[in-house]
Structure 1
Amino acid sequence: MKSIFSVLFLFLGFTGLAQEQDSIPRKQIHIKRIQESPKIDGKLNDAAWQDAAIANNFVERLPNNGRPIPDSLSTTVKIVYDDLGIYFGAEMLDPNPSEIRKELTERDGIGNDDFFFILLNGYNDRQQSMQFIVTAAGVQYDAKMTNGSEDSSWNAIWYSDIEINGRGWTAEVFIPYSELRFPEKPVQEWGLQMEREFKRAGTRYSWSPINTAKGSYSIYDGEIHGIKNIETPTRLSIQPYISAYLNNYDGETATTVNGGMDLKYGINDAFTLDMILVPDFGQTKFDESVLNLSAFEVQYDEQRPFFTEGTELFTKGNLFYSRRVGGAPFGSVTLSEEEEMLNFPSSVDLINAFKVSGRTDGGLGVGFFNAITEKTYVTVRNTTTEETRRELIEPFTNYNILVLDQRYGDNSSVSLVNTNTTREGHFRDANATGLYLNHTNKNNTYRYFTGLEGSWVMEDDTKAGLEAAAGLSKISGKNRADLNFQLRTKDYDINDLGYSSATNYVRYQGLYQRRLLQPKGFLNNMYLNFVAVHERRLEPDLHSKLILNFNSSFTTKDFFNFGGGFETTPIGTNDIYEPRVDGLYFKIPAYYDQWLWFNTDFRKKLVVQAVADWYKYDERGRGDLIFDFGPRYRFSDKFKMNLSTNVRLSDKEEGFVKFLEDNILFGQRDRNTIINSLGANYIFNNKMGLNLAFRHYYSEVFYTEFYTLQDDGELSYYGPRNNDFNTTYNSWNVDLRFSWWFAPGSQMTLLYRNGTDSYLGYSHINFRDNFRNLFEQPQVNSLSLRISYYLDYNRVKSWFRSSENPAGEMNGTSYLDSKKRF
């Protein structure tokens, strides 16, 4: 342990060794204030554009980094501003306008499209920007970009239109100040980047040149100057909703009607309050359930919009797993021999939740999250007397997170994160705290990071755990490298509000990467990666595993993507988790894994993706074969379908079965898993679409022999095959959804959902019988309608002004509600 902390402090000290050089020169544009706003119709013929500042001289970013844009694709962007917001008018030449790619997608989707891209950074810190994209089909996409990582769950209210003409296409965009964050001062200086995607050639051009050989995307922002004396608007909006559900399950039909509201309030120019009142998540996507035989729980993706939008601060340090809030209850029930549990809820009810987040002009980000969940009970019945009782398994619970994140330099930060879970009464409470440093030198050639976390779980006793990590990366040039380590003590546990699986280990990892930075020969790009990982158990010390990995990725000039790799654990693995008991371990023989994959040209109507992967173990007859095949066909710019089939065949796999009185039973098993998915989209226009999502998951487990686990990690023969533990699991889900964005920020969704699953105590069942058994199970059939309407304080205020001013003067805020923008 002492040597580990020595390494940690060595990494911390090493951050001062980098040579600090001057910042990258920045491209600038000075824009003018206008008195009369342009009509947002895609036509750049308004008087407001006549004397506008012009941004031009775009430069290719991908694949030929640094090449000037050809005259045939000349791109000019006019930019102006007024009291309401900032306007962009982009003209993008195209030698063949009839071939402009304009596939329709749902909002926040980009398909086979040309598009125009805007990044605005009101604090000009080169780290976090607001991203606005409009495609040549008129579809809007917006996101928050932090150091090159996108959060597309963020939805803004802005206005755009496009026109395809004989010269190419134009995009006209208006972004209200209410959707931006900037300091309250008389003279503004914002970061700006713009890009144009030319899909036919697979090229992308940026206004401010970007050096792909080093650094992150955001450090190359240019600047907007000239914005003066604008007022931070009142940022207050509510989004009331009403939803209705018609549910049928196992022959019983129920109807429910819900209503609630989301609220956003700009506390000041930097900080925003988001609150959800009477939440309703009945239309979230289904989870992709699996048959889990591992020692750890399955970590599912978050599907609820409130918990995905604007969470970039709360994900610092990975201490927050939002599915804990309103997830499965933590409590348990002790049953007597005569009792049975009638129901065990899969989730608890969320009463309300809010979050406050923002960043000061000095670069300090502050985030606070709080949520409260309802009491949850189960019903227990005595099978002899038929009496029932209610048992509390989850009390009122309060969850909160506090984040402080100080940015400095072009791409560096230090962060403090604290999470807390408090349950009413004598239930389990928990706390976790993390401190993180992420430093990049000014030349953007090296990155250093370190982190230290502590966890405290208060139940009968207090259990405290520790995680520490540090690393050094070379992030520039053709040759890149990374060295890092991470350790977790045995009692590290953040599972009340985070997700932690493996503990009690120290891991050392090294990476060397060779990159092709410019197209060469028949290749557009190439990545060759060599990775070595060594992991040991901490208490008591024990070798766990050594992994050697090589993987590669290539893209040809015809945009055919392919690659492959090889991985091995040459001296085998001592698995300390599969026994489910501290101090024991299970020996797994060495494996040799090789794989190949390819994706055909994504610009074509037919796209095919395929993966073939084969594990071979140092044990006779043991191996895994994985095959993944996914064709996608675009019938038109409105209609496309995709199919995915994943097959995994595992022979003579060995793993935990159950606890015996004085030992642990392991089994040798064959496991076959097949996952079929089908997706289809028909998009009527850029505001209305129909989406189908289907998934069938099938997994069967067939045990051939049984063993007991020995203290030295070996298995001792216990008995021959029996059918007691064989399993067949099916999961079936269908979602058919119609969405209509009938006004800015306002949406109507009609959803039909069908789902069922089956868990059988046997395997090797034929196809027909398997599906007959599946559809004999109770099915969920649900039809739901949800309507939400976005109301902005400035728009509502303009309605009253308009009623007082029937002449309809186009001044200030009232213009936001005019037909020119809707």
Structure 2
Amino acid sequence: MKTKFCILILTLFLWQISAQKTIASDSISRKKLQAIKKDQNIKIDGILDDEIWKNVPIATNFVERQPNNGKPQADSLKTEVKFLYDDTGLYIAAQMYDPQPSKILKELTERDNIANDDFFGIIINGYNDHQQSLEFIVTAAGVQVDGKLTTENEDMSWNAVWYSAVKINDKGWAVEMKIPFFELRFPKKDLQEFGLNMIRKIKRTNTMYDWNHVDNQKGNYTLYDGVLNGVAEVKTPTRLSFTPYFSTYVNSYDGKTEMNVNGGMDLKYGINDAFTFDMTLIPDFGQANFDNSILNLTPFEQQFAEQRSFFMEGTELFSKGDLFYSRRVGGSPSRYPVIDEEKETITEYPGKVKLFNAFKISGRTKKGLGIGIFNGVTEKMEATIRDNETGATRKEVVEPWTNYNVLVFDQRFGDNSSVTLVNTSTLRMGDFRDANSTGLLWNIANKKNTYNYYGNLKGSWVMDDGTKFGNRGTVGIGKFSGKNRFEINANYVNKDWDINDLGFSTKTNYGNHNVWYGYRILQPTEKLNNMYLNFNLNYYHRLEPFLNQKLIFNHNNSFTNKKFQSFGGGIEFTPYGEKDIYEPRTFGRYLNVPGYFDSWLWFESDSRKRLQYNITVDYYAYDQKGRNYVVPSLYLRYRASDKMKIIWQFNPVFSNNEIGYSGKDSGNIYMGRRQRNTYENAITGQYTFNEKMTLALAFRHYFSDVTYKQFYTLENDGNLNPNTTYNPNLNGTYNSWNVDLRYSWWFAPGSQLTLLYRNATSNYLEMSRMRFKNNFDELFNAPMINNFSLRISYFLDYNRMKNWF
């Protein structure tokens, strides 16, 4: 079955490639600019009075993108940009005119962050194919921001090594940049033709400008670049770099202190002009951000965001199809020992699997074929088990040596179309389970880039005492241009769909049909800068055996006024209630959930002000007496200066008389009516000394308690029957406390020193409705982790290193 499915998918993929026709977008006017070659040294200092910049062609006549799309930039705010190059890279000089230099906004942030800032950037595409561009942005405070821009998303986790300097002057502000050729991707030919656009943001008026006009009525940003000519006879440089690291940790927990020292290296090598090999040797992720854990009472595991830099950077290909969840690599062991609890005790069980090494190869050919290969290997992990009578211990493997692999082929054609083949595999040594998944995805835009036709077909195989095959699919059509837009789609997931060895999946055994209509204004009106109105209708049903589940209507809207205050809200309701097929946690059973009416409002103040506040109120009213769900939230950000800011977020949740799973035995499934209160407080603060040095604080306290009021037996028809004999103590309180204090210093290009102090603890108590003080007393009586760590990484470029010798 697996072989036939793979052959079918491969045949469809090759047919799509062979049958494709080049789809040209509507004629889009493309500005052109000439780069001039210079062999003299160019000092990157933000001062543009050097002789070398004279008599160089100027790019100007920028066009407003937001809020007044298509309006020419005023002469008093004009932007002038010049390009030079030598054998090592591109040089850019940009003068941003501003009649009020003292009002240029320049908040200092960490690298890759933009806050209350004016900024300028270039978006460059070495293959001039409208598919994937690289972004290099500099804020008026001198902070560098870089990323990859594709037709589908913007990946700001990508980091390059480049140079820039900023100066405020009597004309406004100026920036000089050098982009080394080893950071760009372009074909081997004598005369290059780069796709190019340039952006400028004036924050105090919230206006965005582009050199080549970007029409907001249709298509995506990459369609609208201009052209940079003149770069000739440039040799593709050797793209080889090393980033060795040194780290040391001091950990104190429950009266025990340990110290360890680590060393390793990340390697990056340009296989050719298009493909890059990345590898981490002896990886160290000890300074990754903490996870926002919660008290999870749902039938599904909690999904965490990736925090490890190697898995965050350059993953745009691997994320296609949603088959790869990188947290599986180095996650929890796949087995837990089965023991005789009267005779044995598990004394040690590894919480995480250790990553041995990992590499990835990714890139895109000049014909638009993107190829991504990821491979990771994790080490064997063992649990320690003690015999209670003799005291002897034994080891049991809970995770063997394991290989994780992802392979992606993504063929792009036309300006906005693609066909993608994705395969993932997990291979474990011994008798542990193996897994594989394969997906074919397509997204085809019409010639005018106004409609798209999309879909996918995916299969999963789990090999564990036999083979389990699952599959899912989607098909849809949408109009993504103009004021009136719509989308119609249908998808299904069968009961055996399972990609959880290297992916993440939750709900299965359902079909879904969705209709969406959206209306938006594309030009400001007398009172509004933008408006979005959305209407959704969703129908869900169980596949096996067939069962109507629910019908959901949703309307949501958002507005931004002339003061750049945003606000909106919406409603959602299920007129016939829901048959929840997941909460009983037993195949074929369901729970009747009454219908609800949900309404919400939100408001975001002007982000340019020193004090910004965002407020949301969301209220679910169920068609059942006393049952509701309330979700308010508050966000406050105070900017004390361009160097210092503090943010407080408060997110409480109150769920009254909800019904949830509480247990089962051989004959019955039990449900409980419960009260649940959750309070989440998070404080982040930052003091930025300059564009390379930051002191940051992150604090989070999460507290959730649940109190059961009554228990029921679930009947076969989904209704509940009160049960007075089943009465376990399921009341509980969960706390999670984390404090991170971090000092970061980018002391050289691509090189960083990080000093981190971390304090963390958590507890779970089998009681609820505790007094606030008592809850904190119990929390702080639990053992706490105190961790001090220092990590230093240094970027070494082969082209620089060879000159040393």
Fold shared by both chains (TM-score > 0.5) = yes
Contact 2:25–2:415 (Cα < 8 Å) also in 1: no
Q: 1:646 to 1:22 in 2, by over 3 A?
A: closer
Contact 1:380–1:390 (Cα < 8 Å) also in 2: yes
What is the match of residue 161 of structure 1?
A: 165
Does residue 210 of structure 2 align to residue 212 of structure 1?
no
Larger deviation: 785-794 or 338-347?
Answer: 338-347
Report Cα offsets for 1:89-113 as digits up to 9, x if no partner: 1001111101100000011111100
Report Cα offsets for 1:737-792 as digits up to 9, x if no partner: 00000000000000000000010001010000000000000100000000000000
Q: CA deviation at 1:83?
A: 0.8
1: CA distance between counterparts of 2:650 and 2:643? 24
TM superposition score normalised by structure 2:
0.96
Report Cα offsets for 1:651-681 as digits up to 9, x if no partner: 0010111122311111000000000000000
Does residue 587 of structure 2 align to residue 565 of structure 1?
no
Larger deviation: 148-157 or 490-499?
Answer: 148-157
Q: CA deviation at 1:23?
A: 3.8
Report Cα offsets for 1:221-263 as digits up to 9, x if no partner: 1111111110000000000000000100001000000000000
Larger deviation: 143-152 or 571-580?
Answer: 143-152
What is the match of residue 507 of structure 2?
A: 502
Q: Show structure 1 runs of 5+ residues with no match.
A: 1-8, 801-822
Contact 1:42–1:161 (Cα < 8 Å) also in 2: yes
Contact 2:25–2:449 (Cα < 8 Å) also in 1: no
Residue of 514, 517, 540 corresponding to 2:522: 517
2: CA distance between counterparts of 1:125 and 1:52? 26
Q: 1:131 to 1:148 in 2, by over 3 A?
A: farther
The count of aligned residue pairs is 790
Q: 1:723 to 1:505 in 2, by over 3 A?
A: closer
Q: Which amino acid aligns with 2:295?
A: L
2: CA distance between counterparts of 1:172 and 1:196? 14
2: CA distance between counterparts of 1:768 and 1:723? 27
Q: Which amino acid aligns with 2:784?
A: Q
Q: Show structure 2 runs of 5+ residues with no match.
A: 1-11
Report Cα offsets for 1:239-289 as digits up to 9, x if no partner: 000000010000100000000000000111111110000000000000000
Provide the aligned C-alpha RMSD in A.
Answer: 1.7
What is the match of residue 6 of structure 1?
A: none
SS of 1:413 mapped into structure 2: strand
Contact 1:148–1:218 (Cα < 8 Å) also in 2: no
What is the match of residue 190 of structure 1?
A: 194
Q: Which amino acid aligns with 1:672?
A: N
Does residue 102 of structure 2 align to residue 107 of structure 1?
no
2: CA distance between counterparts of 1:100 and 1:526? 28
Residue of 59, 64, 75 corresponding to 1:71: 75
Residue of 31, 38, 43 corresponding to 1:39: 43
Report Cα offsets for 1:676-700 as digits up to 9, x if no partner: 0000000000000000000000000
What is the match of residue 799 of structure 2?
A: 794
SS of 1:214 mapped into structure 2: coil
Structure 2 counterparts to residues 201-350 of structure 1, below 5 A: 201-338=205-342, 339-350=344-355
SS of 2:651 mapped into structure 1: strand
Q: Which amino acid aligns with 1:455?
A: S
Residue of 700, 722, 733 corresponding to 1:717: 722
What is the match of residue 731 of structure 1?
A: 736
Report Cα offsets for 1:270-329 as digits up to 9, x if no partner: 111100000000000000000000010000000000001001110110100000000011
Q: 1:75 to 1:669 in 2, by over 3 A?
A: same
Larger deviation: 319-328 or 790-799?
Answer: 790-799
Find runs of 4+ consecutive structure 1 residues off by over 4 angstroms.
Answer: 15-21, 720-723
Structure 2 counterparts to residues 616-631 of structure 1, below 5 A: 616-631=621-636
1: CA distance between counterparts of 2:21 and 2:560? 36
Does residue 180 of structure 2 align to residue 176 of structure 1?
yes
SS of 1:306 mapped into structure 2: helix
Does residue 444 of structure 2 align to residue 452 of structure 1?
no
Structure 2 counterparts to residues 759-774 of structure 1, below 5 A: 759-774=764-779
What is the match of residue 815 of structure 1?
A: none
Q: CA deviation at 1:385?
A: 3.5
Does residue 143 of structure 2 align to residue 130 of structure 1?
no
Contact 2:333–2:352 (Cα < 8 Å) also in 1: yes
Contact 1:703–1:722 (Cα < 8 Å) also in 2: no
2: CA distance between counterparts of 1:302 and 1:283? 13
Q: CA deviation at 1:71?
A: 1.2
Structure 2 counterparts to residues 8-157 of structure 1, below 5 A: 22-147=26-151, 149-157=153-161
Q: CA deviation at 1:545?
A: 1.4
SS of 1:342 mapped into structure 2: strand
What is the match of residue 759 of structure 2?
A: 754
Structure 2 counterparts to residues 579-598 of structure 1, below 5 A: 579-598=584-603
Q: Which amino acid aligns with 1:261?
A: M
Does residue 659 of structure 2 align to residue 639 of structure 1?
no
Q: CA deviation at 1:148?
A: 5.4
Q: CA deviation at 1:21?
A: 5.9
Q: Which amino acid aligns with 2:670?
A: L
Contact 1:119–1:194 (Cα < 8 Å) also in 2: yes
2: CA distance between counterparts of 1:608 and 1:737? 25
1: CA distance between counterparts of 2:386 and 2:595? 50
Q: CA deviation at 1:516?
A: 1.0
Contact 1:148–1:217 (Cα < 8 Å) also in 2: no
1: CA distance between counterparts of 2:726 and 2:705? 16
TM superposition score normalised by structure 1:
0.94
SS of 1:498 mapped into structure 2: coil
Q: Which amino acid aligns with 1:605?
A: R
